[in-house]
Amino acid sequence: MAKKKTKFDFDPVISALGGRDNVMSVSASTDLMKITTKTKLTDEQVAALKAIPVWDDVSFKGPDLKLVPNDDIEFDDYGSQLTQALTRNNANIKTKNVVGRVLDFVSQIFIPIIPMFAGSGILRGLLVLSTELHWLSANSSTYHILYAASNAVFYFLPILLAFSAGRAFKVDQISSAVIVAALMEPNIVNLLHHGATTGITHFFTIPVVLQQYSSTVIPAFLAIWLYSYAEKGLKRIITPTLQVIFVPLLALVVVVPSVLIVVGPIGIYLGQGLAAIMAWLVKANSTITGAVIGGLWPVFVIFGLHWSIIPIIWGNLASAGHDFIIPMAATSNFGIAGAAMGVLIRARMAKTRSLASSGLISLLVAGIGEPTIWGFAIPMRRPFIAACLGGASGGAVIGFFHVDGVAAVFGALTTLPGFATPTFIWYIVGISVAFVVSTLLTVIFGFDETKLGVNK
């Protein structure tokens, strides 16, 4: 049933907040409003807010007042109207821009997954260390079982994100997970041509460009964003007694093909364009190429664009026995590790330090960056920027000295043998620069721990 729309009276809210002049900043997403006031609200003011029949929860998140709406209102409409009411005739109030609101929204979706990121990253690192020290054979069944346990959260990340995004978009979470799971279902995977990364098939007569969706992020967000409109639209035209059957049915029929038809080409063509740019940059200036790859590789992975660069790496290894992109990309991991180290040094809250230490271990031992990227770097923003700048600095060094790699491996301390070429010393210099620059930038410019939802 569609949510009822109401003509809202904001005077009680504004009064409980101490008036417009007491409000410093305000931001609203689909399921949360955060307001920062000049003076801390009294118990009476908080009680007055709780008494307004709009909020399920009224609490403090660090210096911010966190307001969670109930399900009886169209909060997208309410939140935007309340923001306008609070900021009207008050130029001193800061409102977050679109990028800030999107990052806050994405962080809310990732927060429930963060603990499993940390645990999986450490387990992956321990497995790599165990095989390097010959405590465990990579061919043993024990290894494969433990590897599956450590890899599941990364491989099935789109499904986990879809489930979490379903809550943020206020749609059915199980349906959200199933829609994205369809993108990774074996019948879709088998349509990829001869195990290649991409392929073309058809939905009736409409071309469908396929790509690998495991471990990606953006396709899951786009799928659930599209599903949120589909579900709300279907519930408006289907009677409640039939919704339990026909809403999931029609959503699957409409959303899954739509995502494959639209998202697939976007990812493929952006990736091909990126590969062409990389080829041009290498010919033009290897130092700039190293800075671009080292600095932006985490962004490529987030959008799934790295799949178009990996075939270039494999081709270089097959034809020449070495490749220049691998060491450039490796510096991004050490840039991220530097951000984790910087957070570990400067953090005051125990939970933040725990996330930073687990992220640092998983990076240095296994080359797994997701626990750091999504666990705290992106939510706190400045550490992510520092990581990119550190990776760019190290990548520039790698590019300038034409460093090569001889194996398709992640950047980590345990994978150093993969860079055992005559340029090995410059690889060490490059990753050290990435780590140190990122660490220093994170420590110097700091970060806001309250963005992680921790308070102690």
What DSSP letter does each residue of 204-270 carry, written as one string? TTEEEEE---TT-SHHHHHHHHHHHHHHHHHHHHS-HHHHHHHHHHHHHHHHHHHHHHHHHHHHHHH
Q: What pLDDT is stored for residue 24 in this prediction?
A: 79
- Which region, left, alpha or beta, applies to residue 19 given φ > 0 means left and ψ of -120 to 50 means alpha? left
Dist CA 300 CA 352 (whole Å): 26
- Give the per-residue SS3 of 13-51: HHHHCCCHHHEEEEEECCCCEEEEECCCCCHHHHHHHHH
Q: What is the pLDDT of residues 373-420, one digit of tens each?
A: 877 788 788 999 999 999 999 999 999 998 988 877 778 888 888 888
Q: What pLDDT is stored for residue 3 in this prediction?
A: 47
Q: What is the pLDDT of residues 65-109, one digit of tens each?
A: 777 777 666 666 676 677 777 766 555 555 555 555 666 666 677
Task: Give the CA distances from residue 156 to residues 69, 220, 242, 347, 421, in Å, rounded to whole numbers and listed in that order.
Answer: 30, 11, 31, 30, 35
In DSSP terms, 203 is beta-bridged to: 206
Q: Using pLDDT thresholds of 50, 70 and 90, give the confidence band for residue 283.
A: confident
Q: What is the pLDDT of residues 208-242, one digit of tens each?
A: 887 778 777 778 888 898 999 999 899 989 988 89
How many residues are recorded in the chain?
456
Q: What is the pLDDT of residues 181-212, one digit of tens each?
A: 998 888 888 887 555 555 778 888 888 887 77
Mean pLDDT of 421-433: 94
Q: Using pLDDT thresholds of 50, 70 and 90, give the confidence band for residue 246.
A: very high
Mean pLDDT of 9-15: 80
| Other CB atoms within 10 Å distance of the CB of residue 300 | 21
Dist CA 427 CA 421 (whole Å): 9
> Is residue 265 scored above 50 in pLDDT?
yes
Q: Using pLDDT thresholds of 50, 70 and 90, give the confidence band for residue 276.
A: confident
Dist CA 47 CA 421 (whole Å): 67
Q: Which of 98-102, 263-267, 355-359, 444-448 is predicted with the least confidence, judged by mean pLDDT? A: 98-102
Domains of the chain: 11-103 (3.30.1360.60), 156-282 (no CATH), 285-452 (no CATH)
Q: What is the pLDDT of residues 299-322, one digit of tens each?
A: 887 766 676 677 677 667 766 777
Dist CA 321 CA 298 (whole Å): 25
Give pTM, 2 decimals. Answer: 0.64
Nearest to 282 by CA among 330, 327, 325, 326: 325
Mean pLDDT of 246-261: 91
> Is residue 203 helix, strand or coil?
strand
